[in-house]
Structure 1
């Protein structure tokens, strides 16, 4: 992938496309967009998301989500909404690229402002537009729905390290203030939220710094976001090349893909996009899976 970045810097995006090389257009566009950005804005995520991502697609509203890998596992229970009339209903677990972007926004604001309280509303709208998510229509309705799901869901993280394991049960948010559309009483808009104390403390202890410029270029691809976050967390901590099998990759990233061959195709596409916005990442593609090589982090950061 380093070859692609060099070609774009030397010849420009259009020339690289005209060369008819073996690079997908989306990958070239992502790399060119990333290289053209001067911004060095930094975002933050809790490291648990590096191993246990959200679902990519919508589940049944009352369905619980779980991912189990060699290093960690997560269970996400859908939250409950009680309407003014009628029985309570499940709102479903958060999913897709919009949910990931909202989580990134919440955690970034909390880290930068050193406060658990985060404003959504116009602030979130402005940030989502920065991430290439247009305001209005279905796109923004999706953002509001995912914010509601995040506000209500409950998490159980479990981590393994040698013979030791740990368990964290918590909500992402302790509080949320909603407004309602008078013409549609069941439509809820979270305006101000407060991260739970437990989640906030874990975020401060174990943050993953990422580049806004990188996330912006892959903002509509949930698996590419997951892969980028995973690489940002793992590569700089390695002391030697590390083999990752297709079985392990499937466990971590491929829930919802029953056939391994289908997952491989989607993962390789997502990996190419992630590498397009992480020029220093060194990855080898092998028949058994991939090899992670020690690499510089996308952002150098020391937690305080």
Structure 2
């Protein structure tokens, strides 16, 4: 077999073979065959890589595939305004309950010298006119509802948000099927809207030297309920408390909605996403948190620090799968977060804050 015949034997794609036949007999036939063979080899390499990638993804679990897909999108598509949601900075530090507190009417969580206190409230039933007690907001859906409502308030530049017109679209964006009925996702999300609107929120600040302050920060001023024909009551509008809204406009924390989608099933991972985003925007020197600090802020569902450490390491590793440039490290003492460009989380830096530290991520057992 001659050299040209060997090259022709390596060309298999139908469209490339047509180009070979069209060039046959021409003055530059050998050079054209060489060029076509090069294109065939490029295609073969691409197909091999795609096949290997498909096999790799097939071995991943469902949640791993979701995180992997989000990482790929984030790496290949730049962050734009359409990808940014917003949440109040204070909510990035004050985590809600992870699980349903049941009949409990109060909840508190301490982070460092500060603490969050929630008290469940009541709402007026639109059909009976009776006061109905609401439970405490909890879980990932409550966090996603807050993210959505804060985002809509920032976008519309209004403390009043039309809930019924926008929540279904947000649910789809987060990867939830929009389903009705007793166990449907619509009911689950609107329940968290009602719990959030009814609850009272306080933040306690302590300097450790004999002085303390208590801040009343109710997010919502009012919630309008209505009862469509044949359905349960539904929230039409939510109005933020004016003080909270004004503070939100000044201190809105950007969150990449694609990352929120990746962690939409985990309350703690969403808390980690918000918390790291908040810290990176202002951090100018390394921040160390002990395991006791971390357990107090993120360990509500883990009674012991030992079980918390295992769960926290796994959750943090999942965050780093999506954002491999996060400047985080874990050791026997706890967590260290290094100053870095907030672009490690693909959110814009806070105006006036410039960090020049190199990015890097290291997780140790």
- TM-score over 0.5 (shorter chain): yes
Structure-to-structure mapping, 1:37-116, within 5 angstroms:
37=74, 38=77, 40=80, 41-83=83-125, 88-116=131-159
1:30 correspondence with 2:67: yes
| Contact in 1 for aligned 2:341/2:349 (Cα 8 Å) | no
| Worse-superposed segment, 75-84 or 194-203 | 75-84
Q: Counterpart of 2:20?
A: none
Q: How many residues align?
A: 291
Give TM-score, length-normalised by structure 1: 0.85
Alpha-carbon spacing, 1:85–1:237, altered in 2? closer, same or farther (3 Å): closer
1:173 correspondence with 2:223: no
1:228 correspondence with 2:273: yes
Q: Distance in 2 between matches of 1:294 and 1:204?
A: 25
The structure with higher relative contact order (CA 8 Å, sep 6+) is 1
Residue ranges of structure 2 left out of the alignment (5+ in a row): 1-48, 352-365
| Contact in 2 for aligned 1:148/1:188 (Cα 8 Å) | no
Q: Distance in 2 between matches of 1:169 and 1:273?
A: 34
Alpha-carbon spacing, 1:80–1:171, altered in 2? closer, same or farther (3 Å): same
Q: Counterpart of 1:277?
A: 322
Alpha-carbon spacing, 1:80–1:280, altered in 2? closer, same or farther (3 Å): same
1:289 correspondence with 2:334: yes
| Worse-superposed segment, 61-70 or 243-252 | 61-70
| Contact in 2 for aligned 1:120/1:193 (Cα 8 Å) | yes
In the TM superposition, what is the alpha-carbon distance from 1:114 to its structure 2 partner?
1.2
In the TM superposition, what is the alpha-carbon distance from 1:43 to its structure 2 partner?
1.2
Q: Distance in 1 between matches of 2:315 and 2:149?
A: 24
Residue ranges of structure 1 left out of the alignment (5+ in a row): 1-10
In the TM superposition, what is the alpha-carbon distance from 1:50 to its structure 2 partner?
2.1
In the TM superposition, what is the alpha-carbon distance from 1:133 to its structure 2 partner?
1.5
Deviation string, structure 1 residues 59-81 (Cα, Å, up to 9, x no partner): 12442111111142111110113
| Worse-superposed segment, 133-142 or 152-161 | 152-161
Q: Distance in 2 between matches of 1:118 and 1:15?
A: 43
Deviation string, structure 1 residues 44-99 (Cα, Å, up to 9, x no partner): 11111222100110012442111111142111110113446697442111111111
Structure with greater Cα Rg? 2
Specify which structure has the higher proportion of strand: 1
Deviation string, structure 1 residues 196-248 (Cα, Å, up to 9, x no partner): 01211221232211111111111111110000110001124223332211110
Give TM-score, length-normalised by structure 2: 0.71
